[in-house]
A and B are shown apart, each in its own frame.
Chain A
């Protein structure tokens, strides 16, 4: 997985933010285009490519949700499946919202999903075929569904 390579890390869903930052800074010192302004066109192009990949990698991996999306997509998991009973639950919540309730219950569920995502992610061993990734994908699907609800509710 390109983003982990860019930061010199083995694929993992449980990353220490402080360590990630230090690695990002160290790599930036080596790769940033500032270091190559007087180099050849090829070297400058390479620096631009390498540092933009590094920045994209850091931006993605430091956010647990974006990181999980990246890992599952890279592993070829594109299922949009939701667990049984989830939609019924959401319909009820949505009804409450439309009757003038606030989005607080949705936000609580998002927070709970973040905790769930963290523990499911910690269980991943780095292999693209690991069944724990399927669990991560399913959590992300629920999360996305609720986020859309919040978004719709706010834009009403």
Chain B
């Protein structure tokens, strides 16, 4: 495909914007005419098909045929530990691999994959799609995450990018991206509330706009609240209708698809109908919007508390909010819109497709990073407070939630025992006072300290949350000024070494795959020549050969048959070439016979 290239000066390759969603994912790019979506929407489904991993529509097909070979909504498990996904496991057909106490892995067909690896498959599909649309390689991306994602969830998303061969230049919060997409910066100043109810997550962000600066004042949300929860409610009803009997997995997925279709229809009509064949049984049900709204009211209500908390944190009143933006497929639901309208007392913006707006905004942010967009700047915040464990299991907060990022805090540490060589720092994220109520991020170990009497060491530790919302820790000895070694042990998710190993493994796998393909291709070639030889032996041309020539062909055939099952394609190719050589005269004879036949006007 040829495309018209725009010269932006030094060409470092395009930066694309990616919305890696719970249900669906999209990729977009900023051109001179504005951001545009590249290619079709990609369902966030990954499956094993003929021994290979596929993502998107092909994976959806596998899911409907054989759910054991596929996985969806894996974003819900990003950066989480086995202990905190028990609820998810009861609601979603996730199959945990053994050994998931350390690193969470899911069984998909004959593979076990971490959530990051599953995300990587979806990202890879988007990368390929973007490359074919843009007509050039794509190596850099901006990827969006729910604003309320914690450090581990962000890190897992970044890891997914690395595994997909994408350099993730920036993680952008989804609601903030949406605000960028709306180009509300055309309005010189004002305040915006972004209400983002997606497939699996809910975010609310309040921003202040000033001359192209998008300053996030506060954000709040719930990383486990979304359209998925509504689907589960409807599924529960359907299962009850079906008498509570368990149904086979493929039928369950078909039922889920029908239920979702009925839900989506209800946003536009007052009554929808579910009608589906389930293994000989037919399930029919009418669903009124009235019943639907009664069902989902508690879910919609659950979004209200974060909205109020966010308003409070922003220091603004409802009256001071100028614009409200709706993002995420679930905001198509009339009841959701009504709740937002009531809360903010304003008519929300719905001009842009709520499924596309985040990807479009990510493309704008990519444009900012590439230097193509000069006057716009995003100042985002960290959604959760960061603290360290102190005596008695209490958390001492170092960086408060809603601090503009990058943000940093410096803390002095010392030793408590004479000659102590290392200090362990437990870092947590959350708003509560006690360690047990916050989320453990990682343990940082300061190593190789100079042995000194207790309390004399002075180690200055700097905690920095970068523009992606990810924590970096550096430490130095305040006496010597020397950098101190810090070893990170993440509480959830993967260590850097594990990600590196996975990347290596995928490369080795890629090599294996490549070698496998070469072997298969040479076998096909061998099949062709063997079949052709067999056929030629039935013709007159065969008997025109000398006895030695015929013996040479037979020997070459036998040798190729023996080499055929070799796993080295070179061997197969060598004996294929030998047979080719041996059948040279035979082919010539056949050719002549054919020509003579043609001259005589007779068929051979």
Give A residues with C-beta under 8 Å from B.
Answer: 21, 25, 28-29, 32-35, 37-38, 48-49, 51-53, 55-56, 58-59
Contacts and interface: CB of A to CB of B under 8 A. Distances in A.
B12 interface: yes
Dominant SS among interface residues on chain B: strand
B403 A33 contact: no
B143 to A, nearest CB: 13
Interface stretch (B27-35, B244-252, B301-309, B405-413): B405-413
A52 B170 contact: no
Interface of B: 12, 169-170, 210-211, 213, 215, 365, 368-371, 377-379, 403-409, 464-467, 472
A53 B404 contact: no
B524 to A, nearest CB: 45
A83 to B, nearest CB: 30
A53 B170 CA distance: 20
Nearest to A58: B404
B170 A32 contact: no
A56 B463 CA distance: 12
A32 B169 contact: no
Contacts of B371: 35
A47 to B, nearest CB: 9
B179 to A, nearest CB: 15
Given A25-B211, A48-B472, 8 more contacts: A28-B379, A32-B377, A37-B170, A37-B369, A38-B12, A38-B370, A48-B406, A53-B408
Contacts, number: 59
A56 B213 contact: no
A51 B406 contact: yes
A96 to B, nearest CB: 27
B466 A29 contact: no
Given A28-B379, A38-B12, A48-B466, A33 B406 contact: yes
A114 to B, nearest CB: 16
A111 to B, nearest CB: 17
A40 B472 CA distance: 18
A32 B211 contact: no
A33 B466 contact: yes
A67 B140 CA distance: 40
Contacts of B408: 52-53, 56
A96 B464 CA distance: 44
B466 A59 contact: no
A34 B170 contact: yes
